[in-house]
Chain A
């Protein structure tokens, strides 16, 4: 049960994330971004990926890049809950301040979470972003 519990917890949180993503005007972008984030992490590492998202996100809900903001804001509470990041810290700064062992742990957690988010986003959100 314990192991199942971990994955179930991620799945539950990921489902709520994907539901929130579905209701966005930029829901298609949300879907395509959550699917590409694991690939970005594998290519450039978690720190660079988060910095990339932080640089791309826009606060205007009408903009496509608002989806990046939603993703960024969804990620942090999960890592805080898991005790991997402090609540008051900036996410990017917190991640680059980690030693490499913890960094790998956080990377693993983020990848595990995004596996679920992209599954649910795939199921809940129809259509592809036109890019």
Chain B
């Protein structure tokens, strides 16, 4: 969205030129200092201004971009759009003089830094398309509001008076329908008999919450595409564990003695030829549509009580809550695939799982596991529960 305005150029004490933009609504904004004003010739000239979140993004004079300072231009242009880097703290920042949200925002962005190597930072695009790279590789560090180190750390979400998400999950560049079509075709090309289970979480799920990350919480993202997905090994583990709990009363030894169970998941009889691999393949579950990434919060109220191993600290209401943010995936349909060699897909005849063939049995249990046990972290409080469509 562009606005019309007028440039006001004045000579500064140092002999240079500083610009101000007078917008049509009679508001004035200082022209960012990375614009190259060599003289006062542009004084009074009509211009078009594009702004985002109040900050000037682009200034056009007679349909052309206003000249930026050579050399540093690209970096400073980037700086204008994104929070600051440690190395270029002082140069080129657009001065913000008006009070209110602008000033808050400027102060806020002053506190934010990334830690990329110099050239990577220099050529960083204004918008990083891949959510995985944006979140994990261009992590924002917040210097904190005061010098006491309060609120210091890596953040994807800024709490406080004007809460805001620093890293938005934008998957507009990925065509999930085409991706799945290609994937299904590739899986079919392996000659496996497939079962496809589209499942939607009843609320939210978070897989990989405990992975190491500078944010202290994490979310498993696809290493190439950067969208959240559920790794096949997590799915296999869930189904296996569900069957052990439901059919074998939690006794893994008993489950491993069952032929049907062994055939589906495989088993190791350490070093002997009787070991076998599982017949059923558990593939990663990808989103069927652009996933909704939602920040969520764990808010322990009695941190000193939990941290005191000696047990002498009471869980008093006078402690401050400690918000810990984490990312979840909400209401996003996920596509689960199971596969089996068609020749091996026989009806289970013996043991506790007898009745149907391997693939249908596994599919049935996967549906039950996702619906009743849930996958990922915090299933006890309702995360990770899927209802089948």
Taking Cβ atoms with an 8 Å cutoff, the residues of A that contact B are 36, 39-40, 43-45, 47-52, 55, 92-93, 95-100, 102-103, 130
Contact = CB atoms under 8 A, between A and B. Distances in A.
Interface string B145-180: 000010011100000000000000000000000000
A47 B87 CA distance: 13
B212 A45 contact: no
B346 interface: no
Contact of B115 (A39, A40, A48, A100): A48
A52 B152 CA distance: 10
Contacts, number: 76
Contact of B211 (A43, A51, A55, A130): A43
A98 B309 CA distance: 43
Given A45-B137, A98-B117, A52 B309 contact: no
B213 A96 contact: no
State which size class the interface on B falls in: 20 to 34
Contacts of A39: 211-212
9 contacts: A44-B137, A45-B116, A47-B117, A48-B114, A95-B115, A96-B87, A96-B118, A98-B118, A103-B120
A98 B213 CA distance: 23
B139 interface: yes
A40 B86 contact: no
Contact of B141 (A51, A93, A100, A130): A51
A105 to B, nearest CB: 11
A40 B85 CA distance: 21
Given A44-B214, A48-B141, A99-B117, 8 more contacts: A40-B214, A43-B211, A43-B213, A48-B154, A95-B117, A96-B85, A98-B118, A100-B119
A44 B87 CA distance: 19
A105 B115 CA distance: 16
Given A43-B218, A44-B139, A48-B154, A100 B117 contact: yes
Contact of A40 (B113, B213, B309): B213
A83 to B, nearest CB: 18
